[in-house]
Copies of this chain bind each other. A is one copy, B any other.
């Protein structure tokens, strides 16, 4: 597909990883496991791949696996009967997907870009949780971090203006996804379409587009095509974001 997805695929889909040189171990659910734990975990893991746009699970579907995002971006969305949809989580590399002890997906999960997941069968993972304190301990930490992130997002959805919402999202993507420049500069390759951004921010895609243009006019960002954003001064962007909540990782 587009340049964006090739960026993700090139690194991710080359071959399976060995846990020993997994670059996202420090943040993943297995980060607290010792060598012994990993000897038990590693043989049980397997990989799943999805193409951009593919639905991983519909809300209500049986979910027989859990996993960690290795490469790419996934989105969790909720939809009302009349079609209004709200994204409730953006899953970036190292984020955990799925819920032990629950048989069905609570939200629809979609691959936003090409995606690589490091998975365990759900039942297997539940057993590992019981026998591996380091795993369940880290999962609790991760879940509480996601809860904090969700609450930050509640502030954004409930109280921020459209401009602040856009600035907040860009600030978060710059923090976690973007390449940082020498000074306060950053470049972001947006994984999300305007519509997906709107669904995440509780806006319409037209408002997203207009506010992106407004930020460009005001010199806060520079656009190179719709999906490439340069932030000349990250501090200025954060100032536009309303300040609160930009310093935290996005919801998982």
Contact of A85 among B143, B148, B159, B201 (CB under 8 A): B159
Known: A143-B144, A151-B78, A151-B89. A159 touches B84 (CB 8 A): yes
Cross-interface CB contact of A159 among B147, B151, B202, cutoff 8 Å: B202
Please indicate which of the listed interface residues A80, A86, A151 has the most CB atoms of chain B within 10 Å of its own CB: A151
Which B residues touch A223, using CB under 8 A? none
Shortest CB distance A24–B (Å): 21
| Docked pose: A212 CA to B141 CA in angstroms | 39
- Report how many residues on chain A are interfacial, defined by Cβ distance under 8 Å: 41
Hey, what's the 0/1 contact readout for A129-161 against B, CB within 8 Å counting as 1?
A: 010010011011101101110111111011100
Residue contact A158 to B159, C-beta cutoff 8 Å: no
A70: interface (CB < 8 Å): no
Whether a CB of chain B sits under 8 angstroms from the CB of A106 is yes
Cross-chain contact A158 with B202 (CB below 8 angstroms) = yes
Residue of B nearest to A89 (CB): B151
Partner of A80 from B86, B89, B153, B155 at Cβ < 8 Å:
B155
A143 to chain B, nearest CB (A): 5
